[in-house]
Amino acid sequence: MSRWTHVIGCFELSADVYKMIKKNGEYKMTIPYPEEQFFLDAVIPDTKGGLEVPVTVVSLPRIKPVIDKLIYNIMPSGEAEFDYHLIQDKSESRSSSSCFSYHCEEELFEKLLEEKYKDSIFNYKINKDKFNLNWIYYTNEFNFVVSDNIRYCSGLELMRAFEKLFSKFEENEIEVSKGVFQWRDEYLGDSIVFSVSKSFVEDTIYFTITKDGCVVAEKRVIKEFNKKIKDFELKVETTDNWDKLKEDLTV
């Protein structure tokens, strides 16, 4: 009989739309995949005969290759690749600005307007003064969805993998907003449930093992602001039996 671990759940993650690069000795912000990240929305005529142009910028095309590589290197696959989906709706922006933050945005704005209206009476090069930025909307959030049945994988192996993956999210400035993954190992029965979770009311990620609905071991990764260094740092807390269970799960 093969060993199977069944996992399901969803997390909301967030990442910046920009990538910082060093060019000619100077650091600058870029939007690395402009065709996939930067969009002109439907224009709005103003009262003076001009056009207000809303813009949407999304993060997923920039960060997806990073996540894909992490999952390929870290997550168990069993007989097939680890089954996950990264989903982003560009219309669900939660932040905006009435002006550009970086020169790369302004360059893309002008380039797309030139292309869109080159054969129009609103030719951008001729009527540049008639075009104005309306608002620029940033869609940083996206969903990380998992639903998989992993062969030749124990529940503990999957826990170790998720611990490493979420640690790499932090290193790559991928913010974990909220969500939960749960899984069970057929060898251990239905009474034992593994999970990783984070609520929107506290900045703590929980790695938990329960038996018959009661927590038997837990690891907590707490993100706190350190006033001395004026930055966030991670604090890890575990129950006394966490390491023992990771060596030999006997619950």
Q: For 103-159, how does the pLDDT look when each residue is reduced to its tens digit (9 = 90+)?
A: 999 999 999 999 988 877 778 888 888 899 999 999 999 999 999 999 999 999 999
> Comparing C-alpha atoms, which of 128, 150, 139, 167 is closest to residue 63?
139
How much is the pLDDT for 249? Answer: 59
Cβ pair 238, 220 in contact under 8 A: yes
Average pLDDT over residues 208-213: 94
State what percent of residues in the chain have pLDDT above 90.
Answer: 73
Q: Which of 2-16, 112-126, 148-162, 169-183 has the lowest mean pLDDT?
A: 112-126
Better pLDDT: 120 or 51: 51
Four-CA torsion 102, 107, 108, 109, nearest 10 degrees: 90
Measured over the CA atoms of residue 230, residue 232, residue 237 and residue 243, the dihedral's sign is negative
CA distances from 142 to 11, 13, 173 (A): 8, 5, 14
How much is the pLDDT for 251? Answer: 45
Determine the Cα–Cα distance for residues 141 and 59; give it in Å rounded to an integer.
8
CA distances from 151 to 110, 186, 187 (A): 52, 10, 12
- At 68-80, the pLDDT tens digits run 999 999 999 878 8
Range of the domain at 203: 4-247
Q: What is the pTM of this model?
A: 0.91
60 pLDDT higher than 50:
yes
Domains identified in the chain, total number: 1
